[in-house]
Amino acid sequence: MGPAEKSLSIFFALTHRAWLNRSMKVALLVESLTGNTWKAAELIAGNLQQEGWTITGLNPVKKPDHLALQAADLIVVGTWVHGAFIVGQSPWGIGNINALPAITGKRAATFCTFALNPGKTLGAMEKSVNRLGADVIGGMALHRAKIEAHSEEFAARLMSALAVA
Ligand SMILES: Cc1cc2nc3c(=O)[nH]c(=O)nc-3n(C[C@H](O)[C@H](O)[C@H](O)COP(=O)(O)O)c2cc1C
């Protein structure tokens, strides 16, 4: 391949990558008691929207918007860590996550907010969301004192994971 062809193929690869990013539709489902996880979800949605992604819905896990889920390519599920802070941590509302409608064939990602130590919360969330039929591409624990920075980081990870997927 000559230099001109090489730069043309790099151009197409980048354009394709930008197009893939631009076309993603995302639905977010959230459990939140004191607002941290909800705020994180809003920040994540805002960051993704800034890059051209479409948010089809942002709803409580207990009140999923079925049309928003159907329209989405990626479902993001967020909750908060509940436990005895250094032991027994688990995702709050896991029963509600388990009761979500099947999202077979969709990609999904999980996040939790925490104060001290998330323990195995993300692993438990991934198991539940996988059981709904989704392909979980990743997850991140966001410290409640760093919600803005960690939400931005999570959104960036989602964008790079799906740009090459
Ligand atoms: C009853 C209770 C138990 C908690 N247990 C833990 C815990 O085990 N580990 C931890 O890191 N944070 C724990 N937290 C902190 C929350 O996970 C954190 O504040 C989270 O951001 C709350 O999210 P929300 O504002 O969306 O409800 C606990 C909070 C509460 C109210």
* Ligand 1 close to Cβ of residue 111 (< 6 A): no
* Ligand 1 close to Cβ of residue 84 (< 6 A): yes
Distance of CA 39 to the CA centre of its chain: 14
Enclosing domain of residue 91? 3-163
Residue 14 is predicted with a pLDDT of: 54
Tokens of 66: 């079925």
The pLDDT > 90 percentage for the chain reads 82
CATH label of the domain that carries residue 66: 3.40.50.360
* Ligand 1 close to Cβ of residue 39 (< 6 A): no
* CA pair distance 158, 151, nearest whole angstrom: 11
- Only one residue has tokens 């960036």, namely 156
SS3 19: helix
Residue 19 is predicted with a pLDDT of: 53
Report whether pLDDT(18) > 80: no
Tokens of 86: 């250094």
Q: What is the pLDDT of residues 42-84, one digit of tens each?
A: 999 999 999 999 999 999 999 999 999 999 999 999 999 999 9
Residue 63 is predicted with a pLDDT of: 98
Q: Can you tell me the mean pLDDT for 101-127?
A: 97
Q: What is the DSSP letter of 146?
A: G
Residue 163 is predicted with a pLDDT of: 82
pTM: 0.89
* Contact of 68 with 59, CB cutoff 8 Å: yes
Q: Ligand 1 center to residue 143 CA distance, Å?
A: 10
pLDDT band at 11 (very low <50, low <70, confident <90, very high): low
Tokens of 71: 């329209």
Report whether pLDDT(148) > 60: yes
* CA pair distance 40, 30, nearest whole angstrom: 10
* Ligand 1 close to Cβ of residue 113 (< 6 A): yes
Task: Name the least confident of 5-14, 60-69, 130-139.
Answer: 5-14
| Overall domain count for the chain | 1
